[in-house]
Amino acid sequence: MFFVIKKRMLIITGVVLISVMVSLAVTASAMAFSPTPAVVVVLDAGHGGKDGGTSGVNSGVSEAEINLILVKKIEGLLKAQNIGVILTRKDENSLYTESVTKKHRDMEARKKIILDTCPTLVVSIHCNKFPDSSRRGAQVFYEPLSEKGKTLALSIQNNLNTINNDYVGRAFTILKGDYYILHCSAYPSAIVECGFLSNSEDDALLNKPDYQDKLAYRIFCGILGYLSTVE
Ligand SMILES: [Zn+2]
């Protein structure tokens, strides 16, 4: 009896040991071969904290909130393709919380994240406003001195024009922009103004999850399109 139990215990112990060794080996090999993303994208959700940006003409939603929702959706799509993503802000807070007058500190913090990351590209997400409330649509801005930035902006704009054609009835061209986030680093950068919160139709759409999904997907496709030209 004792001999039988001992034998069984030996067998069980052996099986457990082998299982542990196999699982350790699998873990070690997974760690050794876990691919480090070759491409890293900085996604910048504009505004945050006391600086909410513009707000929805009817909904009252803050631009900062919509920007963050869109950035997180784009992040999910990129990560599913094993593309590394660094967010300049991950929540509703700004990068400098003392007051709105410290906006330059907030922007400097965003610049530091970009420089520390050495990314393949930077995409900053915003929503627009305009005194003429009929203005609508998604438009991309680029730094004129950056050829790659222009290519990136064009790729995203071409993809967003699918949405612009469907909802606004026309396509848009990319525009030159003198914005800090575009020229604070040499990395290819684009600002996407996803729609006009000063327009009631865009305001309603920008608040809809399925429309947010469409925007995120097209921006994601635009990023992939750019990457296919540089890889
Ligand atoms: Zn903005």
**pLDDT for position 194:** 98
Look at the block and give the residue holding tokens 């790729």: 155
104 and 29 together in one domain: no
pLDDT in tens, 101-140: 577 888 999 999 999 999 999 999 999 999 999 999 999 9
Distance separating alpha carbons of residues 147 and 226, to the nearest angstrom:
12
Closest CA to 63 of 85, 92, 103, 106: 92
For position 104, which CATH number holds?
Answer: 3.40.630.40
CA 113 to centroid of ligand 1, rounded, Å: 19
Cα 63 to averaged position of ligand 1 atoms, centre (Å): 7
Q: How far apart are the CA of 82 and the centre of ligand 1, in A?
A: 28
Residues 175 and 214 in one domain: yes
9 and 43 share a domain? no
Question: How many angstroms is it from 112 CA to the middle of ligand 1?
Answer: 19
Task: Give the Cα-Cα-Cα angle 103, 106, 111 (nearest 5 degrees).
Answer: 125
β-strand partners of 126: 193
- The residues, any chain, with a CB within 8 Å of residue 81's CB and separated by 6 or more, are 224
| C-alpha of residue 71 to centroid of ligand 1, in Å | 13
122 vs 152: CA distance, rounded Å: 9
d(CA 109, CA 116): 10
Number of domains in the chain: 2
For residues 14 and 10, give the distance between their C-alpha atoms in angstroms, rounded to a whole number.
6
Three-class DSSP category at 12: helix
Centroid of ligand 1 to alpha carbon of 47 (angstroms) = 6
- pLDDT at site 29: 44
CB 67 within 8 A of CB 127: yes
The model's pLDDT over 71-93, given as tens digits with 9 standing for 90+, comes to 999 999 999 999 999 999 998 88
CA–centroid distance, 222 to ligand 1, in Å, is 20
Q: How far is the CA of 54 from the centre of ligand 1 (A)?
A: 7
The pLDDT value given to residue 101: 58
Q: What is the pLDDT of residue 31?
A: 45
128 vs 30, more confident: 128
Find the range with the poorest average confidence among 29-43, 53-67, 98-112.
29-43
Rounded distance from Cα 101 to ligand 1 centre (Å): 16
Give the Å distance between the CA of 128 and the centre of ligand 1.
6
Note whether 109 and 139 are same-domain residues. yes
**225/37 Cα distance (integer angstroms):** 17
pLDDT tens per residue across span 138-195: 999 999 999 999 999 999 999 999 999 999 999 999 999 999 999 999 999 999 999 9
Residue 216 confidence (pLDDT) above 90: yes
Report d(CA 142, CA 182) in Å as an integer. Answer: 7
- pLDDT, residue 1, reads 44
Looking at the structure, do residues 158 and 44 belong to the same domain, yes or no? yes
Boundaries of domain holding 25: 1-34
Gyration radius of the chain's alpha carbons: 24
- The Cβ-side half-sphere exposure at 222, using a 13 Å CA radius, reads 33
Q: How far is the CA of 55 from the centre of ligand 1 (A)?
A: 10
Check whether residue 169 and residue 114 sit in a common domain: yes
Check residues 97 and 81 and name the one with the higher pLDDT. Answer: 81
What is the CA(3)–ligand 1 centre distance, in A? Answer: 77
> Are both 15 and 118 inside the same structural domain?
no
Distance (angstroms) between ligand 1 centre and the Cα of 62 equals 10
The pLDDT confidence band at residue 7, using thresholds 50, 70 and 90, is low
Q: Return the number of other C-beta atoms located less than 10 Å from residue 32's C-beta.
A: 7
Residue 53 CA to ligand 1 centre (angstroms): 5
149 and 129 in one domain? Answer: yes
